Amino acid sequence: MVGCLLGRQGVESSGNGRVAFGSMPMKLALRIGAGLLLAFAAVRSVQAPTAEAGSFWRSGWVTFAATAVVGGAAASELIVRAIRDRLSRQNSRLAEHARPALQSALRLLVEKGDLNCMETGVNAFLVRYGRPIFYRWGVHLRRQARLERVRISTGPRPSGITWTKYKGTIGLSWKTNKNVAVNLASHRYSQLTQRRFDRLADADKLHLTFEEFQTASRHGYVIVAPIRDEAGKYRGCVTLDGPRGEFTRAMKTRPFPILGDAAETIWRFARG
């Protein structure tokens, strides 16, 4: 069983930790605004040929402002691209350091609990800033982005859910800054219809929508250990997930110290 954990098979990297500066809507708005200023300046110059020489419109300030906006948009795009490239390189280096720690944790847990190595995986998430996400309970600028995933099989695939604070099992760990273990596939709400599920309080359904809850349930159980900095502040998490029928065996392995060791290793490299 241990042999199936060796090598590079099943190791996947994710670039979800990028900072979302310079989004297309922002750049498009800047360019449209600059175009409107230039068009307005041209119209005014035609409509008011007798305006005083020192007037705002005749002095070229509008043209200058529009040029500055266009130049600023171009410069910001270059700066954003440079920041993204730098963050991508940093994430790649950090993922390379995190991978052995995750592989070691997975190997130990599979050995101790006689877990199915093909259907068990470990992940590392870090708290990152990104585009604002609006929910009826608030606005979120931070989310947990997947740093690295170690899994032999390709499924289930990553959920694609944006993991903000409070949301899902890892959001609950973020909220409480504590270890968390939930078997979503056998959760007491997993068999509810959407109508009954939607009536639940947000905290009871882990701030997930019905579709998100069903997607997350495909991962079976999820066991979460926080990544903390030197001051004890939550910085991310390391998770173990596997089929729902192995939740009890996984808990008997005492997974939190093993996941916690991986979390400490990852933070040592993350703090640089």
Q: How many CB atoms lie within 10 A of CB 190?
A: 15
| SS3 (DSSP) at 130 | strand
Q: Which helix (H) or strand (E) holds 173?
A: helix 168-176
Indicate the pTM of the whole model: 0.69
Section 57-86 average pLDDT: 64
* Structural domain includes residue 86: no
Which stretch of 133-137, 145-149, 209-213 has the lowest confidence by average pLDDT?
Answer: 133-137
Distance CA 121, CA 152 (A): 7
Q: Are residues 120 and 169 in the same domain?
A: yes
CA angle 75, 81, 82 (to 5 degrees): 90
Question: Is the peptide bond preceding residue 49 cis, with omega within 30 degrees of 0?
Answer: no
Tell me: pLDDT of 99 over 70. yes
Number of domains in the chain: 2
CA distances, 62 to each of 28, 44, 46, 57, 71 (Å): 19, 10, 14, 7, 14
Tell me the residue type at 35: G
Q: Are residues 13 and 120 in the same domain?
A: yes
Which stretch of 45-54, 107-116, 137-146, 193-202 has the lowest confidence by average pLDDT?
Answer: 45-54
Range of the domain at 211: 2-17+96-270
* CA 76 to chain CA mean position, Å: 23
Q: Are residues 137 and 9 in the same domain?
A: yes
Domain of 149, CATH number, reads 3.30.450.40
Q: Which helix (H) or strand (E) holds 222?
A: strand 221-228
* CA 75 to chain CA mean position, Å: 27
Domain boundary among 34, 56, 80: 80
Distance CA 41, CA 45 (A): 6
Question: Is the peptide bond preceding residue 156 cis, with omega within 30 degrees of 0?
Answer: yes
Q: Are residues 28 and 109 in the same domain?
A: no
Distance CA 272, CA 270 (A): 5
pLDDT tens-digit map of 163-172 = 888 888 999 9
Residue 63 confidence class, pLDDT cut points 50, 70, 90: low
Q: Are residues 73 and 203 in the same domain?
A: no
The tokens describing 37, both together, are 């200023």
8 A C-beta contact, residue 262 and residue 161:
no
Q: Cβ contacts of residue 188 below 8 Å, gap of 6+?
A: none
Q: Cβ contacts of residue 207 below 8 Å, gap of 6+?
A: 135, 137, 164, 166, 167, 168, 171
Q: Which residues are paired to 144 by β-bridges?
A: 127, 163
Question: Residue 166: phi, psi to the nearest 5?
Answer: 80, -20
Q: Which helix (H) or strand (E) holds 166?
A: none
Q: Are residues 8 and 54 in the same domain?
A: no
Section 81-95 average pLDDT: 75
